[in-house]
Amino acid sequence: MELMLGRTIAITIGAIIVMTTCVCSRRAGSVAVNENNDIKQKLDQVLQEMVRLTDDPAEKRLLGQAEPLGSIKDLDMAVVGFALPQKEKDRRIQVSFALDYFKEHDVKTLAQEALKDWRSAAAEAPLQR
């Protein structure tokens, strides 16, 4: 009887460990999904603030064509941002933030910086031939 009890306990302990591992794995996945959703929401808020900050109807129209950046290869850090149309050209300008910087700063600050960087890059870009 004691031997049987010992086996049952061992199996039960094993099952608890497996169940705990599965729950932790699900929570980690859930946290990653929640974080991605939070980032997407904040990016949307930054874009809305950029539209609010500009008085130029052409800029508002172009900002409406923004696309979130996918993965950028060959970087040593995680980044988030947008690909924004270049004024009167068929090119896009990438405006991005290091992920840590993005998380630490408020929407208005990020929008002001993104708008400034976008305008600066558009002004400096060589003319298309």
- Residue 50 CA, distance from chain mean position: 17
List the domain boundaries for the chain: 37-124
pLDDT for 78 equals 83
pLDDT for 103 equals 93
pTM equals 0.67
Angle between helices 107-124 and 2-53 (to 10 degrees): 60
Burial zone of 64 (CB within 10 Å; 0-12 exposed, 13-18 middle, 19+ buried) = exposed
pLDDT for 127 equals 53
For residue 112, give the nearest of 60, 46, 43 by alpha carbon. Answer: 46
pLDDT for 49 equals 97
How far apart CA 100 and CA 70 sit, in angstroms, is: 17
pLDDT for 126 equals 61
Burial zone of 81 (CB within 10 Å; 0-12 exposed, 13-18 middle, 19+ buried) = buried
Q: Which residue has the tokens 């874009």?
A: 47
For each of the chain's 129 residues, which pLDDT tens digit applies?
A: 444 444 333 333 333 333 333 344 444 444 456 777 888 899 999 999 999 999 999 999 999 999 888 655 555 668 889 889 887 667 889 999 999 999 999 999 999 999 999 999 888 866 544
pLDDT for 17 equals 35
pLDDT for 124 equals 80
